[in-house]
Amino acid sequence: MARRFVVFLLAVSAGLAFLHVRTLIATEMPDDISIENKGYNSDRRGPVSFSHMNHAEDYDISCTDCHHEYQNGKNVWQEDDPVKGCAECHSPLESRDNVKKLSIAFHKNCKGCHRKLAKEGISKDAPYRKCTDCHERKS
């Protein structure tokens, strides 16, 4: 009788673990996102296609390298926190206080990281020189 109970508990535990993992997988990050040029006075460049999965899995970039919420100069954002759209804090039109405007924030973070990887010899194909290496041509 005790053995059946242990087997039953193991089966229930395995089932709950499976459901928990499925929930985590279902709420994971999107594979690819498109960074649109919304809210700017002029739309000089096309959108940027961004492979979330490549950066996170293939390049081992930490979520907190891009996602952030600063309090007292420290990034307190954690991987299970909600993800805000960049424009919720970074205005497309102007920098405010210590918060850079959206295009500067993107370029500082994305282009700056790519430049660093190229200069350190870690990646030869991390684009940072030509606009069209990241931005799609406008139609």
Under-50 pLDDT residues of the chain: 19-27
What pLDDT was estimated at residue 9?
54
Are the beta carbons of 77 and 67 closer than 8 angstroms? Answer: yes
- Assign 48 to helix, strand or coil: strand
Q: CA-CA distance, 85 to 96, in Å (whole number)? A: 17
Cα(117)–Cα(123) distance, integer angstroms = 5
What pLDDT is recorded for position 44? 81
Partners of 99 in the β-ladder? 96
3-state SS class at 24: helix
Report the C-alpha gap between 132 and 97 in whole angstroms.
31
Q: Rounded to whole angstroms, how far apart are CA atoms 64 and 81?
A: 11
Measured distance CA(71)–CA(68) in Å, rounded: 10
Q: What is the pLDDT of residue 7?
A: 55
**72-111 pLDDT, tens per residue?**
989 999 988 988 888 899 999 999 988 999 999 999 999 9
Instruction: Sort residue 60 into left (φ over 0), alpha (ψ -120 to 50) or beta.
Output: left
Total-model pTM: 0.68
Work out the angle at residue 17's Cα, subtended by the Cα atoms of residues 13 and 21, and round it to the nearest 5 degrees.
175
pLDDT of residue 77: 93
User: Residue 52 has what pLDDT?
Assistant: 86
